[in-house]
Amino acid sequence: MNAETQYLELLEQTISKGMEKKDRTGVGTRSQFGGQLKYDIRNNTLPLITTRRTSLRIAFYELIWMLSGSTDSNFLLDKGIKIWQGNTTRSFLDARGLDYKVGDIGPIYGFNMRHFGAEYKGCDHDYTGQGVDQIQNALDLIRNDPNSRRINVFNHDVANEKKGVLHACHQNFQFYVDQEKKELSCHLYVRSQDLILGHPVNIVYYSLMTHMFAKMNDMTTGDLVVSFGDVHCYNNHIETAKIQLERKPYPFPTIDILKDIKTIDDIINLSFEDIKLNDYKYHPALKYEMAI
């Protein structure tokens, strides 16, 4: 089976058999609970969806932004990436009761990856040495205790969840080292999975992260496993999704990381030109509006 086919089957099943559910945005969804997809990312494979053109650049820079620990989405906006713009406007922040500057997402994702448990004082504060650096801890365990069952990173902090513009959708991830094969795999748990706009980006940057962490440790990559809680398709995506479902997927492309990377700072300092995408064949783009 083509690796993308499993994703399309889940999308079709969610649209045809999922239940109608109201949601935070007011758009509504077709939804079902639970499920799992597994992507083979061996041989430098990158699961970049092919049944519509999917941006590697967006996923790359969102990953770099999160791994840096930043919560200022203006980093992305300066690169023309607007995926966080709707959730960080003045009106959206005020509606959430958050007195942050425009663009501040609060203590989710990157903040929890690099400064878990620190007191949040806004996106412009210097958090050096504060909180738990979960990314560095994970890298240390991969390198020094590869049999550990605790190579986990938690993107969601219940104690601070009301301080974020959203609750983290991809809540936690775990790495697994196969010492015999020298393979690194990743298991991602997503509490709320938007199949159209969320999943294609999520699988790219967690695959990229796994490729990067493997390269840092002279390993290859194994599988990216993604488990779901509420998996859904927004109602305003359904008709366009039916067009996508008629398309036959192509094989996934491969990726080369052109620079040597040894530390997390080496990753943060990568530019998009340091990544080479090979043999990406895709169908034309489809326009999907984000539900805010």
Task: For the chain, give every domain's residue range.
Answer: 3-56+134-278
**CATH number attached to the domain at 3-56+134-278:** 3.30.572.10
Handedness of CA 285, 35, 214, 263 (dihedral sign): positive
Q: What's the pTM?
A: 0.95
> What pLDDT was estimated at residue 23?
84
Please tell me the predicted confidence (pLDDT) of residue 291. Answer: 78
Beta bridge partners of 221: 184
Residues (pLDDT < 70) of the chain are: 1
**DSSP state letters, 213-232:** HHHHTT-EEEEEEEEEEEEE
Name every residue whose Cβ is closer than 8 Å to that of residue 77 and which is 6 or more positions away in sequence. Answer: 84, 85, 103
The confidence score (pLDDT) of residue 2 equals 75
Close Cβ partners of 181 (under 8 Å, ≥ 6 residues apart): 220, 222
Our answer to whether residue 186 is catalytic in this structure is no
pLDDT at site 1 = 62
Q: Are 244 and 207 in contact (CB under 8 A)?
A: no
The Cα 289–Cα 227 span in angstroms is 25
76-95: pLDDT as tens digits: 999 999 999 999 999 999 99
Set 123, 169, 186, 233: catalytic member: 169
CA distance 174 to 168: 16
Looking at residue 204, its pLDDT comes to 97
- 109, 171 contact by CB (below 8 A): no
CA 20/CA 17 separation, integer angstroms: 9
**Predicted pLDDT at 158:** 94
